[in-house]
Structure 1
Amino acid sequence: MSFHGWTGSGKNYLAKMIAKAIYKKEMRSQFVHQFVATHHFPNADEVDKYKGQLRTWIRTNLTNCERSLFIFDEMDKMPMQVLDAIVPFIDFYDHLNGIDSRKSIFLFLSNGGANSIAQRTLEYYNRGKPREEITFREMEEIIQISAYNEGDGGLKSSRLINKHLIDYFVPFLPLERRHVTMCFKDYLRSLNVNYTPEQLERLTDSISFFPREAPIYASAGCKQVVQRTDFILEDLIRESRMINNFSDEL
């Protein structure tokens, strides 16, 4: 599966949910393998070396466990053709040198296609139509075309797309204000911090929204929720205590 959308829209969050559903140790499992393009494949002139390393790494780990999970993050920043190395492992082969890779899962996370996704979402908004009416087929076609043609990322002219080896192109729509507010709520609850509607509103206001003429979507999704909350956490706790003390005195 290939996940597409802006930063903070939930791609990594869903990848972690998948790992949690499969492995007891979740992302800490020895059978979860995560690759970050800017860390593992930083140089565009070393594609052949990366391809060799990737083939060896995947072959070794599939030998150890055929039900491994491979997560490739920052696909839009990965040098072109690196991922061609994994084509034999996800092509339609029952066994490859004694390895049955059909039981493994490959996830590709990318910001590629995010602008096209946002544009289509905004079109629905401007027509007064709810985002829930956007069809998966409609978005999948947009993503596939964008991923194959945009920039110089890992899926650019990729054999993974040419050979139809990616089962699903999953769109992550830009998050609206209500979604960001929900993220703040969830994080505050995880900290067991009481909050007022005014405090929650203040936190949401700390996030940047776009487009400028009608700020609907969060520029960084929910990515900054933890940092923004932690920055004013002491103030939130102090204000909550003051409110509680005042209520007790009434």
Structure 2
Amino acid sequence: MNFLSHRNFLIYILFLQLDLLRVVHGFVDIRNIGNYIKDGTTQVYYKVKNFASCPFTECCNDDYVIEDWQALQEDLKENLFGQNLAIKLLTKALKSHFNKLNRKKPLVISLHGDVGTGKTFTSEIIAKHMFKEGSNSAFVHRFVAADFPYKHESHLPEYQIFVIENVKAALASCPRSLFIFDEVDKYQPGIFDLLTSYIDHHRILNGIHFDQAIYVFISNLPLPHISEDLKSLYKAGKVREQLDNSYFEDLLKKKAFDLKGGLKSAAIIEGNLIDHYIPYLPLEKSHVKECIRGFFAQYNRDPSEHGISKIFDENVVLDEDGIFAESGCKRIEKKVD
């Protein structure tokens, strides 16, 4: 260890101890960390701390927040099957947001579709190419239905505060954070209402930067209209690769507002704060077979067509018209390993 790295290591240990003292002895109330970020001395503290600790731990800088959207696009094209429209919309939204010099708000995306169509997988790919540490990054914050177990309305204020305090603390630590709200169809309506101030058109509020974060909402509620309309388009001679989002955008916005769950009658929808509604179309037989091949490839195995068909026939149920797989690629991976 050379002198410089040795010095940095000692400074790093010192600031770890200072962290503990500041919290334990009440110098910093972690619940109100946003107020302290405004203070000039605290800003100096974090700058010095980051200088000392970044060689040893993840920091909110370009070394760790890599934002490689080209690699993300290639990854999705190679591994997300049957969702050409979603890939096109998502990569365009990400590139546009981060190429803007004067962003006014964070990027807010809502992913909609049946189970097994690739929504959660997509969120993992975003994390993978946004951060050096991928989904393990300290700046990726994932919420699931199990975080909000009680459905009685008396628990709603508690959950609203839980969400907002986590978001505030995360943004104070790293404005370039990624927030993933999975299974929002299982959340209580109104749970995101306190979040509106953080995803509205404010660049800085109470010393915290808001415009650099990404929020991803994932809903697994089936949208029957999409399946039926897809079938109608097929009958008219169109293929799914020709579809654009002009129709789906309005449909998803209306349905997300009306369907049960965390986005029902949500202020973030009513206030037009969700930037993109991205449809995940139901998967066909060919897409599920691609999933099976992809899972085999993860184990460096090259299955025969007979083996793929056998797994499909034993585990996948098609709808009454024999077109769409009812649960997409869900549960397929466990049949491969």
Same fold judged by TM-score > 0.5? Answer: yes
Q: Classify the TM-score, shorter chain.
A: 0.7 to 0.9
CA positional deviation for 1:216: 1.1
Which residue pairs with 2:120 in the alignment? 12
Q: In the aligned structure 1, how far is the partner of 2:237 from the partner of 2:282?
A: 17
Q: In the aligned structure 2, how far is the partner of 1:77 from the partner of 1:134?
A: 29
Structure 1 residues 10-57: Cα deviation after superposition (integer angstroms, max 9, x where no partner): 1011111111111011001000000002x1112232111111111111
Q: Helix, strand or coil: the match of 1:70?
A: strand
Instruction: Tell me whether 1:107 sits opposite 2:216 in the alignment.
Output: yes
Q: In the aligned structure 2, how far is the partner of 1:224 from the partner of 1:121?
A: 24
Instruction: Tell me whether 1:123 sits opposite 2:232 in the alignment.
Output: yes
TM-score (structure 2 length as normaliser): 0.65
Counterpart of 2:148 in structure 1: which amino acid?
Answer: F
Is the contact made by 1:207 and 1:218 (CA closer than 8 Å) also made in structure 2? no
Q: Which runs of 5+ in 2 are unaligned?
A: 1-108
Q: In the aligned structure 2, how far is the partner of 1:120 from the partner of 1:74?
A: 24
Stretches of 4+ aligned residues off by more than 3 angstroms: none
Is the contact made by 1:113 and 1:146 (CA closer than 8 Å) also made in structure 2? no
Which residue pairs with 2:143 in the alignment? 35
Structure 1 residues 67-122: Cα deviation after superposition (integer angstroms, max 9, x where no partner): 00000001111100001121111000121111111100000000235322222222
Q: Which runs of 5+ in 1 are unaligned?
A: 231-250
Q: In the aligned structure 1, how far is the partner of 2:157 from the partner of 2:336?
A: 44
1:113–1:97 CA distance, 2 compared to 1 (3 A): farther
Size of the aligned set, in residue pairs, is 227
Counterpart of 2:309 in structure 1: which amino acid?
Answer: E
CA positional deviation for 1:194: 3.0
Instruction: Tell me whether 1:72 sits opposite 2:181 in the alignment.
Output: yes
Percent sequence identity over aligned pairs: 33
Counterpart of 1:41 in structure 2: which amino acid?
Answer: F
Which residue pairs with 2:300 in the alignment? 192
Which residue pairs with 1:24 in the alignment? 132
Q: In the aligned structure 2, how far is the partner of 1:200 from the partner of 1:173?
A: 22
Is the contact made by 2:143 and 2:182 (CA closer than 8 Å) also made in structure 1? yes
Is the contact made by 2:319 and 2:325 (CA closer than 8 Å) also made in structure 1? no
Structure 1 residues 140-161: Cα deviation after superposition (integer angstroms, max 9, x where no partner): 11111111112x2111111111
RMSD of Structure 2 on Structure 1 (CA) = 1.3
Instruction: Tell me whether 1:215 sits opposite 2:315 in the alignment.
Output: no
Is the contact made by 1:66 and 1:104 (CA closer than 8 Å) also made in structure 2? yes
Q: Helix, strand or coil: the match of 1:206?
A: helix
Q: In the aligned structure 1, how far is the partner of 2:222 from the partner of 2:201?
A: 27
Q: Helix, strand or coil: the match of 2:208?
A: coil
Is the contact made by 1:148 and 1:161 (CA closer than 8 Å) also made in structure 2? yes
Instruction: Tell me whether 1:201 sits opposite 2:309 in the alignment.
Output: yes
Is the contact made by 1:81 and 1:158 (CA closer than 8 Å) also made in structure 2? yes
Q: In the aligned structure 2, how far is the partner of 1:119 from the partner of 1:40?
A: 34
Q: In the aligned structure 2, how far is the partner of 1:113 from the partner of 1:206?
A: 23
Q: Helix, strand or coil: the match of 1:194?
A: coil
Q: Helix, strand or coil: the match of 2:192?
A: helix
Counterpart of 1:215 in structure 2: which amino acid?
Answer: G
